[in-house]
Homo-oligomer: A and B are copies of this chain.
């Protein structure tokens, strides 16, 4: 779909929601192309994601969006419209390793993900060349003694560029709480383990010492709790006793790339809805 809308809805479950929502969409001759819904029974919450083709819409798209207000309020919903086509303004934060950054650049270049990378920000200079080859501004920001000041600089940059999504692509720093809060639901991290196993530093060393037979990577939203936010995607790879920590690092890179790329893809296509500590994901 090239022109249209994505509508995400979260509201208390009650009978007739699908009918009411779909009927509203149809009333103005918009065409419902994809309808995904899920009812969380324990707490009685209704989640839905709609893809709407607006080619045959009888009223202006903005009016159509506004027309949803009464219904949205009546069903006590949180809802969000996204106009297509769009590209999400995204900053990528890196430290030293570049495989996750490379993957994002490659997929973005292919048009797999509607992402516009506004900047690549590093607390080391290692990824500068890759950024510049891709024609994207690279910002080196020191996070040494005045770490707080460094994060303020990052924040200023993100603000100036109107960044909608922050991707921590093997960014080896713990984000300050105020940034986690500000970018809640808009900051994605890749952790190099199969969470909740091996939280924190050196997960591959931990995995080696525990002698696991599968290693993994986890893409999740960042919250104030270390490696504790809602999980979007996880990948695993089989390993054996003869794999050294270095081998695990090598094999893990493929998990990290894959999990992060899928996680970003789901987010920018509005296929995720955060549900307290969990992420609803309607995969494509």
Interface residues of A (CB under 8 A from B): 15-20, 22-23, 25-26, 29-39, 41, 56, 99, 102, 106, 110, 112, 133, 194-198, 209-214, 216, 230-234, 236, 240-242, 244, 247, 250, 254, 258, 275, 277-281, 283-284
Contacts and interface: CB of A to CB of B under 8 A. Distances in A.
A38 B213 contact: no
7 contacts: A15-B30, A34-B37, A35-B37, A194-B197, A196-B210, A212-B231, A213-B232
How many of these chains are in the complex?
Answer: 4
Contact of A15 (B36, B56, B194, B198): B56
B22 A26 contact: no
A264 to B, nearest CB: 14
A195 B197 contact: yes
Given A38-B242, A112-B250, A212-B231, 8 more contacts: A15-B29, A18-B18, A19-B26, A22-B23, A41-B244, A211-B277, A240-B281, A254-B258
A19 B23 contact: yes
B275 A241 contact: yes
A16 B31 CA distance: 7
Interface of A is mostly: mixed
A227 to B, nearest CB: 11
A254 B112 CA distance: 12
B233 A213 contact: yes
Nearest to A272: B241
Nearest to A31: B15
A112 B19 CA distance: 31
A143 B194 CA distance: 36
Contacts of A29: 15
**Most chain B beta-carbon contacts within 10 A, residue among A194, A209, A233, A284:** A194
Nearest to A239: B234
Contacts of A32: 15-19
